Amino acid sequence: MRIPQTAVAFLLATFVVFGLAYIAPGDRVSAAPETVGLSETDAAAMRAELGLDRPFWEQYFDFLRGLRAFDLGTSTTGVPVTSLVGAALPATAALATAALAVSILVGLTMGVVAGLTDTRRVTVPVFIVSAFLVALPQFVLAITVRDTAIGAGWQFGSAGRDIAIGALILPALAAGLASAGYLARVSRAEVTGARRAEHVRMARARGQTGAGLARRHILRNALPPVNAFAATEFAGLLGGTVIIERIFNVPGIGTLLYDSVQRGDVPVTVAIIMCFIAFHMVVTLLLDVAHAALDPRLRNG
């Protein structure tokens, strides 16, 4: 039942997104640079040629047919939207992957250590740091990281090491730290709950301690929910890097979305939003299927 439910949810999302774009002021003709100064008659003729004067339902079904064929339309610049998205996607995917690595390295380490030790000397600093990262706005963190790097003498866009730092490492650090706080909280809660479980107490009673106990009985049961959270975080990173990409001038999907909104490029804006929604739904579907496969109680749920 999960695949049909996901398909219906995606169809509803396409209706909402396309409907909002349809009722929004302006259109592809008014936003296109080459139409500046056109008379009303010429603009109306261009709208008729593009099919923008047709009823909503006709345009919507054309949009669905295009989605089925992976045809996302044409930008107001005359470039196919698929080409624009395809060119920007690798940068965002690399940034999201690197940011997830930072989030796991920092957040998971803090959460697991705090959950396993459960002493105030560890849990209090972890709580303070994670709360700070959760509360700190992402753009503030990104600007702080960028300005610190500039103060250290790194010139973005230059050759050698600096181009790697400016293009990937620093934005990944900013995006990863922003989500590390959430991951630290989730992993600490899961590890603490697993550590207090009955089977762990029985293992201790049988004489198991140390790393063997943690690996076989605590982390083995605590990490699957954390992995699911990390997967949703990755989906969020793919769709939530607009601010990071703008601050660090990363030519990714976020920058493309920002530019398309600024110039009123409706086809690109709608296509990117639908890509974000589709990726989130696919990740959620895969997690549901994985959970159902691992837990028989969920198979009929």
**Mean per-residue pLDDT pooled into runs of 10, the chain (301 residues):** 82 89 69 58 66 78 85 82 90 89 91 83 89 87 85 59 62 88 88 75 66 67 76 79 86 89 84 88 80 56 49
In a domain, 71, yes or no: no
pLDDT computed for residue 163 by the predictor: 45
In a domain, 199, yes or no: yes
The conformational region for residue 146 under phi > 0 = left, psi -120 to 50 = alpha, else beta, is alpha
In a domain, 153, yes or no: yes
pLDDT computed for residue 158 by the predictor: 43
Residues 115 and 190: their CA atoms lie apart, in Å, by: 8
Q: Which residue shows structure tokens 């992957």? A: 97
Residues 55 and 53: their CA atoms lie apart, in Å, by: 7
Residues 65 and 47: their CA atoms lie apart, in Å, by: 20
3-state class (DSSP) for residue 298 = helix
In a domain, 24, yes or no: no
CATH number at residue 224: 1.10.3720.10
Residues 150 and 23: their CA atoms lie apart, in Å, by: 43
Q: Which two tokens stand for residue 40?
A: 């009303």
Residues 66 and 60: their CA atoms lie apart, in Å, by: 10
| Number of domains present in the structure of the chain | 1
Residues 185 and 120: their CA atoms lie apart, in Å, by: 15
The conformational region for residue 112 under phi > 0 = left, psi -120 to 50 = alpha, else beta, is alpha
Q: Which two tokens stand for residue 280?
A: 């989130």
Rounded alpha-carbon distances, angstroms, from residue 39 to 26, 42, 49, 168, 190 = 16, 5, 15, 46, 64
Rounded alpha-carbon distances, angstroms, from residue 207 to 196, 201, 210 = 16, 10, 10
Handedness of CA 51, 55, 57, 60 (dihedral sign): positive
In a domain, 234, yes or no: yes
In a domain, 2, yes or no: no
Domain that holds residue 120: 87-252
In a domain, 143, yes or no: yes
